[in-house]
Amino acid sequence: MNNTKEVGIHEIPKLDKWLVLSLQHLCAMFGATILVPYLVGLSPAVALVSSGLGTLAYLLITRGQVPAYLGSSFAFIAPIIAATTIGGPEGAMIGSFAAGLIYGLVALFIKKSGVNWLMTILPPIVVGPVIMVIGLGLAGVAVSMAMNVPGTSDYDGTLFTVALVTLGITVLATMFFKGFFALIPILIGIVGGYTFAYFQGIIDMTPIRDASWIEVPQFIVPFVTYTPSFSWEILFIMVPIAVVTISEHIGDQMVLSKVVGKNFIKKPGLHRSLLGDGVATMLSALIGGPPNTTYGENIGVIALTRVYSVFVIGGAAVMAIMFGFIGKIAALISTIPTAVMGGVSILLFGIIASSGLRMLIDNKIDFGNKRNLIISSVILVIGIGGAFIQVSDNVQIAGMALATIIGIILNLVLPGREKVDTNAMFEKEQKEEKKSAA
């Protein structure tokens, strides 16, 4: 769908167009949003509800000025799996809530002191390799899902064929589809892989037939379904990842500012958008969903359609909440073979790793500089190699969390660190926007 006329941030489209445009945003985020809970053992239906609620909260906190959709965060996949192993899904929710609190604290600090300090501890040479660790650290998970019988290490050729077909369809959709279909390659890959798997006889449709049309998702609510218990180990696993997602959030805000032609970093302010992201994550944790983050897929939809209306984004959020209560949809998602998700994950996790590499390239990081070489090398090996620090019998700092912390420390203590003037950066962005507008 290509609109030649812009739809402003506070403009309300006609009802028929409104529904179609909101549905388009729902489709763009759907595949990735349900994939995260599927991988970590949470309810995809709850993830849809939490995504919708989080987006509505974000729109309210940013005073209806930032047209951004929030969905499940890939950065938290490995930490949620690790936290669930220690304290079950309930433990992972406590860790997610704490990560959301960090967003709030950072937002408060940014409001008081600006953003230069944040860019000082999170330059591209730290964030790029950490993002690569997120993707490459999950590579084994994707390959296991694609090749093996679920819950075992037994190879299954049929399942691997299904995974490769799914991967092929997703790649073709990404490369060759145009317009609206170019925005939903993940969803197309899942649908295509599911269809192929059905004809291979590995899908049981019984859960769909047995499911009710209207069904309450399996919410995980503190003091209702469980009693929260504190765990330092889970906090050390989950909370440091907020450092990475905060950096991603800043990048998304800058891209969205370029697309819409407004500086959202200044108005309504990065502190408001970060707080909105944090509140969305905390809301999600309170009902049993994965942490939320702004979605690049939906920014792509906005760029393509030139529809900037927050009412369209809000409509997609309401639709997501409604979908979460449709039992047939939840049952359909539950019948998707692990191999199908494995095939999609091979591409997605690779793209995450490549995004980290792209950040390094876009920022012209010089690897002839020993300082940059040391920081990136240490982050990659510690993060992917599974290094950990045993703080006590029950507390461990491991994987991405440890790699992030050590990367930040190295960046601060090694000589030759370049100063980052964020204000100058944003002034440059504004000049480019004014020039393009003229």
How far is the C-alpha of 144 from the C-alpha of 318, rounded, in Å? 35
pLDDT for position 3: 42
Higher pLDDT, 94 or 130: 94
Give the residue-averaged pLDDT of 209-219: 91
> Residue 4 above 50 pLDDT?
no
265-281: pLDDT as tens digits: 888 999 999 999 999 99
Residue-wise burial string across 4-29, b where 16 or more C-beta atoms lie within 10 A, e elsewhere: eeebebeeebeeeebeebbebbbbbb
pLDDT for position 427: 52
Judge whether 379 and 356 are in contact, CB under 8 Å. Answer: no
Grade residue 438 by pLDDT with cuts at 50, 70 and 90. Answer: very low
How far is the C-alpha of 358 from the C-alpha of 253, rounded, in Å? 17
> Residue 311 above 50 pLDDT?
yes
Higher pLDDT, 224 or 177: 224
pLDDT for position 437: 47
Give the residue-averaged pLDDT of 78-107: 93
Average pLDDT, the chain: 86
pLDDT for position 67: 94
Round the CA-based radius of gyration of the chain to a whole number and report it.
21
SS (H, E, C) 267-307: HHHHHHHHHHHHHHHHHHHHHCCCCEEECHHHHHHHHHHCE
Give the residue-averaged pLDDT of 108-123: 83
How far is the C-alpha of 9 from the C-alpha of 26, rounded, in Å? 18
**Phi, psi at 398, each rounded to 5°:** -140, 165
Higher pLDDT, 159 or 180: 159
* Listed range (39-48, 130-139, 371-380) with the worst mean pLDDT: 130-139
pLDDT for position 421: 55
Give the residue-averaged pLDDT of 372-389: 92
DSSP 8-state code for residue 418: P
Burial class (CB in 10 A: 0-12, 13-18, 19+), 111: middle
DSSP 8-state code for residue 62: T
pLDDT for position 435: 53
pLDDT for position 434: 52
Question: Alpha carbon 422 to chain centroid distance?
Answer: 24
Answer whether the bond into residue 13 is a cis peptide, omega within 30°.
no
Please report where in the chains the tokens 């349900």 appear, as a residue: 34
pLDDT for position 123: 86
Grade residue 6 by pLDDT with cuts at 50, 70 and 90. Answer: confident
Other beta carbons less than 10 A from residue 233's beta carbon: 22
pTM of the model: 0.78
Percent of the chain past pLDDT 70, that is, above it, reads 92
pLDDT for position 395: 65
> Residue 335 above 60 pLDDT?
yes
Phi-psi region of 41 (alpha: psi -120 to 50; beta: other; left: phi over 0): left
Give the residue-averaged pLDDT of 312-333: 92
28-70: pLDDT as tens digits: 788 788 889 988 999 999 999 999 999 999 999 999 999 999 9
Higher pLDDT, 291 or 243: 291
> Residue 380 above 50 pLDDT?
yes
Other beta carbons less than 10 A from residue 294's beta carbon: 26
Higher pLDDT, 153 or 155: 155
pLDDT for position 43: 93
400-434: pLDDT as tens digits: 778 888 999 999 999 988 765 555 545 554 555 45
